[in-house]
């Protein structure tokens, strides 16, 4: 018995296409299509309205941002102008303050000069002038004239004894005899304001030494250049740092600096 291919396939395989379900097509009415078209139209209108609203908000945000930027620029320019005005005003005030300070300093300097001159005049010039006036007032001009005539007569007698009329005999005539004889023996104690600070400093140093203090002294300056005679000791001088300027070495002070003395003491 002969079997062909179709029979063999039909016996071994199941036909699946027999179980397939064919979908049924529903009838679409005209009203449903119109309703769908209306829904799509409303959706498009809503989307268009949303797009226009978004564009309006974007335009509003752009305008708001532009106004804010302009406002920020205006505020920055206003602050800059205010700062410039303050700086200009401050510079003018600073210049006025400097001028006032310099004027005050010049006035104080002039007043100090005037006070120093008055102090010197009262303590130096007037005592000397008064002493000279007293000496001149106390002396008798006739007595002074007699002394001068006697000294000149002594000179003439010495010259006549030696038959000298032009040359001065130094062993017989002393031109300073009257000045030595009439010189005042009293000294005037002056309070010179120009020497007063040095005297006060000297008294302070003396008191400081008396209480056991040590006055600092300056170290001798070492020149930077090396003489030619010491070139053979260059290495020793270099390592000893003799080419560098010497440092000021101050002695340790065991006590605090004394207070300034009163000028009246």
Query: Do residues 139 and 182 lie in contact, with contact meaning Cβ atoms separated by under 8 Å?
Result: yes
* Phi, psi of 4, rounded to the nearest 5 degrees: -85, 180
Confidence at residue 251, expressed as pLDDT on a 0 to 100 scale? 47
Question: 0.75 cut: is pTM over it?
Answer: no
Question: pLDDT averaged over consecutive 10-residue blocks of the chain (265 residues)?
Answer: 55 56 57 72 85 87 88 88 81 83 91 91 89 82 78 79 66 66 72 85 85 71 65 55 47 47 45
What gap in Å lies between CA 226 and CA 233, rounded to an integer? Answer: 10
CB atoms within 10 A of CB 225: 6
CB atoms within 10 A of CB 235: 8
How would you label 168-202 residue by residue, b for 16+ Cβ within 10 Å and e otherwise? eeeeebeeeeeeeeeeeeeeeeeeebeeeeeeeee
What gap in Å lies between CA 248 and CA 164, rounded to an integer? Answer: 68
CB atoms within 10 A of CB 220: 6
DSSP string of 169-237, one letter each residue: -TTT--TTHHHHHH----------TTTHHHHHHHHHHHHHHHTT-----PPPPPPSS--GGGGGGHHHH
What gap in Å lies between CA 212 and CA 138, rounded to an integer? Answer: 50
What gap in Å lies between CA 240 and CA 221, rounded to an integer? Answer: 15
């Amino acid at each position: 018995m002969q079997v062909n291919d179709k029979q063999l396939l039909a016996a071994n395989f199941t036909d699946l296409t027999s179980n397939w379900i064919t979908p049924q097509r529903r009838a679409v009415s005209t009203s449903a299509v119109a309703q769908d078209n209306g829904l799509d139209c409303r959706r498009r209108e809503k989307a268009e309205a949303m797009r226009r609203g978004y564009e309006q908000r974007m335009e509003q945000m752009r305008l708001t941002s532009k106004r804010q930027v302009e406002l920020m620029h205006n505020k920055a320019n206003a602050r800059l102008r205010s700062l410039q005005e303050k700086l200009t005003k401050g510079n003018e005030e600073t210049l006025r303050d400097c001028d006032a300070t310099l004027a005050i300093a010049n006035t104080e300097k002039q007043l100090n000069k005037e006070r120093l001159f008055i102090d010197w005049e009262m303590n130096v010039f007037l005592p000397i002038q008064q002493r000279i006036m007293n000496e001149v007032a106390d002396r008798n001009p006739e007595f002074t004239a007699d002394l001068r005539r006697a000294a000149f007569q002594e000179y003439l007698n010495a010259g006549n004894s030696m038959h000298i009329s032009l040359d001065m005999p130094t062993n017989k005539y002393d031109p300073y005899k009257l000045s030595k004889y009439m010189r005042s023996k009293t000294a005037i104690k002056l309070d010179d304001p120009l020497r007063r600070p040095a005297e006060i400093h000297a008294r302070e140093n003396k008191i400081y030494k008396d209480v056991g203090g040590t006055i600092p002294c300056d170290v001798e300056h070492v020149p930077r250049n090396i003489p030619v005679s010491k070139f053979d000791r260059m290495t020793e001088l270099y390592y000893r740092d003799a080419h560098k300027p010497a440092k000021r070495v101050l002695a340790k002070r065991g006590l605090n600096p004394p207070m300034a003395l009163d000028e009246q003491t």
